[in-house]
Amino acid sequence: MERLLWLIEVLAVRYFLIGRGRPERIESLGARVAKMIVEGQVSTATEVREELDELYIPDDAFELAFQTRDETDCKKIGYLLRSLERQARQQRQDVHFREMTPNAVTVEHIMPKSPGHDWKGVFEAHGDGFHEEYLTGC
């Protein structure tokens, strides 16, 4: 079950959050696969992955989309930052990698809500309203 949930999270992040895929496609394929699970036609995470294959963005396309992604929704940004931090801790073999509190990583780790003078050049390079636009909804 844990592997299946992880697979669904990976597909959602790759296809929807980073790849900007259509949510209705996830819903329709997900409903079809759920029915297949109930009917006993699919029983492993590997089989689910095969059934949802069209949602899986190839690594090279995902990496390009991730590098060029422009996200302003703070909840999505926070989710990605927490996921990246958790993965980095896990790779360092930090025994406490699962113990991150939800508010431990915030958007202010990449863009402060109240920037100091040292940020002036960043805002000038991106034009008027950049800071306000970036933090919209945060």
Q: How confident is the model at residue 107 (pLDDT cuts 50, 70, 90)?
A: low
Enumerate the domain spans of the chain.
2-68, 74-134
Closest listed residue to residue 74, CA positions, set 102, 115, 101: 102
pLDDT higher at 122 or 61? 61
Give the model confidence (pLDDT) of 37-93 as tens digits. Answer: 999 999 999 999 999 999 999 999 999 999 988 787 778 888 888 888 878 887 888
Q: Are 119 and 91 in contact (CB under 8 A)?
A: no
- What pLDDT is attached to residue 34? 95
Query: Can you list the positions of beta strands (E) in the chain?
Result: none
pLDDT higher at 12 or 72? 12
Q: Are 50 and 94 in contact (CB under 8 A)?
A: no
Q: Are 62 and 71 in contact (CB under 8 A)?
A: no
Per the listing, tokens 């990246």 go with: 84
What are the structure tokens assigned to 19, written together? 């790849």
